[in-house]
């Protein structure tokens, strides 16, 4: 039986048909009411609008009354995973008289935006295990005739009726398309999903994807799908094919096997100019490029494409031949600034490196000059690090970019000494120090600088707001060698490394300090071999599936995880793909003995940048550890994931922090005006909207994920007490 083919299936019994009809009629009235209030009274697109500004021209909630906010309603999805094994990264959209959200296990849910009551629910995983994360959905309509929600879960993109949640069976294959198809490779061997929503241009859904980060990952081509049929209308090859621009920036046959260079963060659109702006990630494998020599276009690029045809208009590469996993982490923000007495329509791209780049939207010309600075060569066998990297002259970086002895944590003598010992003989130095066998303190680390939450832009003042992390990572490379081929476990160890398992669970199987990825020590005490094999096949939560690993190599991998010996096990011969490759020993955030970041505070910041002048106006810590504050330390900031929004009421709202608080800042000064402890960490971007004369603020409180705090399942909405 298929879900959502009738009202009875949606609600479980026919009696709720009348409730559904009542909601539909009520929301039609509310939608008309919202429309009459003005264009900024709803939040119809991921991050507010197609320009990705995260701005709302709403001022009912303002600096004078924000301390009077109260909870308007709370909705619980009921499907959080135990511990910290799930999260919610969804930025709710409010359109069509409804609010559309996604749950920890990726159910799509329509809510009444006034009461928080559930209207309908769609579960894409009725016959399997939920997989991945989702940051939001996309809405398209053809008047009142056809209204659709596009929603990604696992490897599929679904089209649903926005009114009742039923699949639109004329789209793709019975209401869904397989994102693995259309990439020019055997789709059954690829792992592809879409963690961020696509963007609508007329009757096209332009979609990026998330792919693996290890060797043999899928390519991250950009596709434009027909919103009615699901057919691919155009494709942009982010790894150029023979004869295409950029092909000569790779080795001759790289296009056949190279992966990554994908737009996992979401896109931005200039509708009037019909230009879509696409930020891409690094080529895979992220930390070694000996098998992908060259500049590697279009990895780590901001790309402007003709939204109608997919034709490249311009591009700018922000990291050449990336060896640090410095993906462009968020949708670019379309802004208008004043410089030298002229207005410039520009596009602003924040980065994990803590650099902000500004380009003319039409030409791609840098608004502020960019210089190429030299960096040392790599000492790894086969690696050819690019000799220079680009730096904008303005604004200055919004995070530190050089790690030295003086940057080691000073919160206590014990912490300082512990971190010194942990660093050992690893290289300390500049942001683009090449990876090495002895190790490098990468600063900023792969969590940023900026992250996927993105920036918020205030068109009243031309100020851009961005939250950032200031956390280091200890990266140590090692050659991938299998000298002992006498056992399945020995080969399995190589399979574990080459497919990126070590990047999350650690080379030593101990998991990560962030708490998001569990230890695999003694996994045989918790899971059977068949259960592990099933997980490798289907994935679960934030663990991807591994269809690229053969049946034989999966058996070898299980032998390694179950610590099986050569003397009593038959060797299962798989394909050896390990020649001349390097891996690193896992995600190793530089923490002290108590789990605090190993660098001097601040560890998380909120920044206001004047785009007209290219200057940072203010920077304040974002978040705190209460136990450290009680010890007399000023707020240190924390790891933060999720983004800000800004309003004409003089406010900036952001959650994102490990202390699980939602805060309102004075957007002019950075002063905290209000804060509220959420039921779980708000690792998402909030939304705000006006409904029946009342302004609401809503945030997902899903906890968990890569921040590592307990998981939750709530969406919490606020309004003023006297409204």
Backbone φ, ψ for residue 468 (5° rounding): -150, 155
Task: Identify whether the C-beta of residue 688 lies closer than 8 Å to the C-beta of residue 65.
Answer: no
Burial class (CB in 10 A: 0-12, 13-18, 19+), 264: buried
- Whether residue 513 is contained in a domain is answered as yes
Closest CA to 95 of 27, 38, 142, 197: 27
- Whether residue 97 is contained in a domain is answered as yes
341 and 239 housed in the same domain: yes
Residue 322 has a pLDDT of 98
- Whether residue 597 is contained in a domain is answered as no
Closest CA to 686 of 199, 261, 88: 88
Residues of the chain with pLDDT below 50 are: 1-40, 566-579
Q: How many CB atoms lie within 10 A of CB 225?
A: 25
* Domain boundaries, position 499: 483-580
| Element housing 31 (H / E) | helix 17-37
559 and 467 housed in the same domain: no
699 and 564 housed in the same domain: no
Which of 530, 549, 580 is the last residue in one of the domains?
580
516 and 390 housed in the same domain: no
Question: What does the alpha-carbon distance between residue 20 and residue 26 come to, in Å, rounded to a whole number?
Answer: 10
CA 38, distance to chain mean position in Å, is 31
Question: What does the alpha-carbon distance between residue 574 and residue 592 come to, in Å, rounded to a whole number?
Answer: 40
Alpha-carbon separation of residue 601 from 423, 537, 663 (angstroms): 18, 42, 20
Burial class (CB in 10 A: 0-12, 13-18, 19+), 187: middle
569 and 609 housed in the same domain: no
Lookup result for tokens 């992908």: 292
Which of 546, 580, 614 is the last residue in one of the domains?
580
460 and 496 housed in the same domain: no
- Whether residue 322 is contained in a domain is answered as yes
455 and 518 housed in the same domain: no
Question: What is the DSSP annotation of 81-113?
Answer: PSTTS-------EEETTEEEEE-TT--EEEE-T
Which of 549, 580, 611 is the last residue in one of the domains?
580
Backbone φ, ψ for residue 11 (5° rounding): -105, -15
614 and 567 housed in the same domain: no
- Whether residue 2 is contained in a domain is answered as no
Cα angle 248, 253, 259; round to 5: 90
Q: What is the CATH number of the domain that holds 152?
A: 2.140.10.10
Residue 10 has a pLDDT of 28
Q: What is the CATH number of the domain that holds 517?
A: 1.10.760.10
Q: How many domains does the chain have?
A: 2
Instruction: Report the DSSP pairing between strands 645-647 and 55-56.
Output: parallel
Question: What does the alpha-carbon distance between residue 691 and residue 319 come to, in Å, rounded to a whole number?
Answer: 44
- Whether residue 658 is contained in a domain is answered as yes
- Whether residue 393 is contained in a domain is answered as yes
262 and 137 housed in the same domain: yes
647 and 576 housed in the same domain: no
Q: How many CB atoms lie within 10 A of CB 178?
A: 17
Alpha-carbon separation of residue 353 from 45, 253, 328, 451, 632 (angstroms): 27, 30, 9, 10, 31
**Long-range contacts at 82-85 (CB < 8 A, ≥ 24 apart):** 82/711, 83/704, 83/710, 83/711, 84/515, 84/516, 84/703, 84/704, 84/705, 84/708, 84/709, 84/710, 84/711, 85/518, 85/541, 85/704, 85/711
Question: What does the alpha-carbon distance between residue 80 and residue 86 come to, in Å, rounded to a whole number?
Answer: 6
């Amino acid at each position: 039986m298929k879900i959502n083919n009738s009202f009875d299936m949606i609600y479980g019994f026919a009696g709720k048909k009348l409730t559904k009809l009542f909601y539909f009629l009520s929301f039609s009235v509310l939608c008309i009411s919202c429309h009459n209030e003005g264009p900024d009274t709803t939040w119809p697109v991921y991050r507010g609008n197609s320009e990705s500004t995260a701005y709302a021209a709403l001022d009912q909630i303002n600096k004078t009354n924000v301390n009077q906010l109260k909870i308007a309603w709370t909705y619980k999805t009921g499907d959080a995973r135990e511990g910290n094994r799930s999260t919610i990264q969804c930025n709710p959209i409010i359109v069509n008289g409804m609010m559309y959200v996604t749950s920890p296990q990726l159910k799509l849910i329509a809510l009444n935006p006034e009461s928080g009551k559930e209207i309908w629910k769609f579960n894409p995983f009725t016959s399997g295990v939920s997989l991945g994360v989702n940051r939001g959905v996309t809405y398209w309509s053809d008047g009142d005739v056809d209204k659709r929600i596009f929603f990604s879960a696992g490897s599929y993109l679904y089209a649903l009726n926005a009114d009742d949640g039923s699949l639109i069976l004329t789209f793709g294959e019975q209401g869904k398309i397989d994102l693995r198809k259309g990439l020019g490779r055997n789709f059954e061997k690829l792992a592809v999903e879409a963690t961020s929503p696509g963007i609508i241009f007329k009757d096209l859904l332009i979609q990026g994807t998330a792919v693996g980060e290890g060797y043999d990952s899928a390519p991250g081509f950009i596709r434009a799908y027909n919103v009615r049929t699901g057919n691919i209308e155009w494709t942009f090859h982010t790894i150029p094919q023979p004869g295409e621009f950029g092909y000569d920036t790779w080795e001759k046959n790289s296009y056949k096997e190279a992966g990554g260079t994908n737009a996992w963060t979401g896109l931005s659109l200039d509708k009037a100019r019909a230009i879509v702006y696409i930020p891409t990630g690094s080529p895979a494998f992220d930390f070694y490029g000996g098998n992908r020599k060259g500049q590697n276009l279009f990895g780590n690029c901001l790309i402007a494409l003709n939204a109608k045809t997919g034709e490249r208009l311009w591009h700018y590469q922000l990291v050449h031949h990336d060896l640090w996993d410095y993906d462009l982490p968020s949708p670019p923000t379309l802004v208008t600034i004043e410089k030298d007495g002229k207005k410039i329509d520009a596009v602003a791209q924040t980065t994990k490196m803590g650099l902000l780049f500004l380009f003319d939207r039409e030409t791609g010309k840098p608004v502020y000059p960019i210089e190429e600075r030299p960096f040392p060569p790599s000492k790894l066998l086969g690696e050819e690090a690019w000799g220079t990297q680009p730096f904008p002259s303005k604004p200055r970086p919004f995070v530190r970019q050089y790690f030295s002895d003086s940057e080691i944590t000073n919160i206590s003598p014990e912490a300082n000494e512990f971190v010194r010992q942990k660093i050992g003989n690893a290289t300390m130095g500049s942001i683009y120090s090449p990876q090495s066998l002895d190790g490098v303190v990468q600063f900023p680390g792969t969590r940023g600088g900026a992250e996927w939450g993105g920036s918020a832009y205030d068109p009243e003042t031309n100020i851009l707001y961005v939250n950032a992390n200031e956390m280091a990572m200890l990266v140590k490379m090692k050659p991938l060698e299998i000298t002992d081929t006498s056992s399945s476990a020995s080969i399995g160890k190589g399979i574990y490394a080459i497919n990126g398992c070590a990047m999350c669970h650690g080379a030593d199987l101990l998991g990560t300090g962030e708490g998001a990825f569990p230890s695999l020590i003694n996994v045989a005490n918790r899971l059977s071999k068949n259960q592990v094999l099933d997980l490798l096949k289907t994935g679960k939560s934030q663990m991807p599936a591994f269809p690229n690993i053969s049946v034989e190599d999966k058996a070898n991998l299980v032998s390694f995880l179950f610590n099986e010996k050569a003397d009593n096990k038959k060797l299962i011969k798989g394909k050896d793909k390990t020649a001349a490759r390097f891996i690193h020993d896992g995600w190793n955030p530089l923490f002290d003995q108590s789990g605090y970041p190993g660098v001097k505070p601040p560890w998380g910041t909120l920044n206001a940048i004047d785009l007209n002048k290219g200057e940072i106006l203010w920077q304040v810590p974002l978040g705190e550890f209460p136990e450290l504050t009680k010890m007399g330390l000023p707020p240190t900031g924390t790891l933060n994931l999720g983004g800000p929004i800004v309003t004409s009421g003089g406010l900036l709202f952001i959650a994102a922090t490990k202390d699980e608080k939602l805060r309102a800042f004075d957007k002019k000064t950075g002063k905290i005006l209000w804060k509220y402890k959420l039921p779980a960490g708000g690792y998402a971007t909030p939304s705000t909207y006006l409904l029946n004369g009342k302004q609401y603020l809503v945030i997902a409180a899903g906890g968990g994920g890569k921040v590592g705090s307990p998981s939750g399942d709530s969406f919490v909405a606020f309004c003023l007490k006297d409204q």
